[in-house]
Amino acid sequence: MITLEDWALIRRLAAEGVPKARIAERLGISRTTVVKAVKSEAPPRYERRAASTSFTPFEARVRVLLEDDPEIPATVIAERVEWSGSITWFRENVKRLRPEHRRIDPADRLTWEPGDAAQCDLWFPPKKIPLEDGTAKLLPVLVITAAHSRFMLARMIPTRRTEDLLLGSWELIQQLGRVPRRLIWDNEPGIGRGKRRAEGVAAFMGTLATRLVLLPPKDPESKGVVERRNGWFETSFMPGRSFTSPADFDDQFSNWLRRVNGRIVRTTKAAPTERLDADRTAMLPLPPIPLHLGWRNRVRLGRDYYVRLDTNDYSVDPRVIGRLVDVTADLERVRVRCEGRTVADHARVWARGMTVTDQAHVETAARLRKQFQQPRAAIAGDDLARDLADYDRAFGLIDGELD
């Protein structure tokens, strides 16, 4: 077999018009070899003849197992086929065969029309955020990316509960100023899975007049736009940053998003801000009626005059003890009303297991407790003495004898 250098020299000499016989004589090879080299379209390549190895007798049985389960571990296969040789050598051969038995899942290139869809996802920044009680916690960030323009919006939320997911979604949609025709989620429990929708989600989508799309398993491409950006946030936004609170995180992240939304996106050859107007024009208008979202509960206020929201307790005006109160909360505030009157208003805390007390409620409770413990004064003019004749008449006795 000729070398790569000889092959290149033969083709160059033949192109210059040197006779094939003279080329063969010059290189000391046969004229047939020269003819083959001139006619070949690719350089010569050495191919080693397949030889039998210690794995060869087991290959057919290994293929049968891989056909049934392409992901079966190599160690399990080795046990099933009674392999007694090197497990490393066995693993290498199984690794070579495994791709031939995996089912193929082609990924289509998706085209996103203006206004058609927004991809939604939760991103967990790999850094704990300080909370009110002095602890720190990994908190989710709700990210919505308009698929056509690639315009990104995000907001940190306290939990993955449906109430907070819908509150965060509505806040970001209001920032966008329009409603995408589809909101694409990837089986988030607080939104829904399969055909099941979390409580309140259907009403939310109906009020927005949009359509919820829950992706089937193993379909990452349909939400790849937002998921790729989640990974990008970790490498481009997070390094070198520190945060003092969730509000501080939101301030830093929103400022950074304003800058990067003006950068050119490689796939679209345009900045998200340049394509945003076309995206928003094709979207739906915001609903004309206010959305009633967030945490809602009606309870009878107990003697300890606290109500629980998520895992935290908030004090309430003790003057409404024993009455029904309505507890509502959004991402920022917790409010309690009794017959339309506000009896508690607290900043919502994101830590867990905390007790939030309004000092005015404590002072009112102390005053009411003191009043309760004091004996009631007798009413002036109330004579408790009774004429014994009243009892005689009641039992039918008059002057000591039966009537």
Residue 387: its pLDDT value, please? Answer: 67
Max intra-chain CA distance, the chain: 163
Residues 244, 143, 264: CA angle, nearest 5 degrees: 100
The per-residue b/e assignment along 168-194, b for 16 or more CB within 10 angstroms, e otherwise, is: bbbbbbeebebbbbbbbbbebebbbee
User: Per-residue confidence of the chain (403 residues) as pLDDT tens digits?
Assistant: 677 788 888 888 888 888 888 888 888 888 888 888 888 877 777 666 667 888 999 999 999 999 999 999 999 999 999 999 999 999 999 999 999 988 876 656 678 899 999 999 999 999 999 998 889 999 999 999 999 999 999 999 999 999 999 999 999 999 999 999 999 998 899 999 888 899 999 999 999 999 999 988 766 667 788 889 999 999 999 999 999 999 999 999 999 999 999 999 998 999 999 999 999 999 999 998 878 899 999 999 999 999 999 999 999 999 999 999 999 999 999 999 999 999 999 999 999 999 999 999 999 999 999 988 887 765 655 555 666 666 666 666 655 454 4
Residue 243: its pLDDT value, please? Answer: 96
Question: What is 117-281's CATH number?
Answer: 3.30.420.10
pTM of the complete model: 0.70
Break the chain into its structural domains and give their ranges.
4-39, 56-101, 117-281, 295-373
Residue 403: its pLDDT value, please? Answer: 46
Cα–Cα distance for residue pair 166/172, rounded to 1 Å: 10
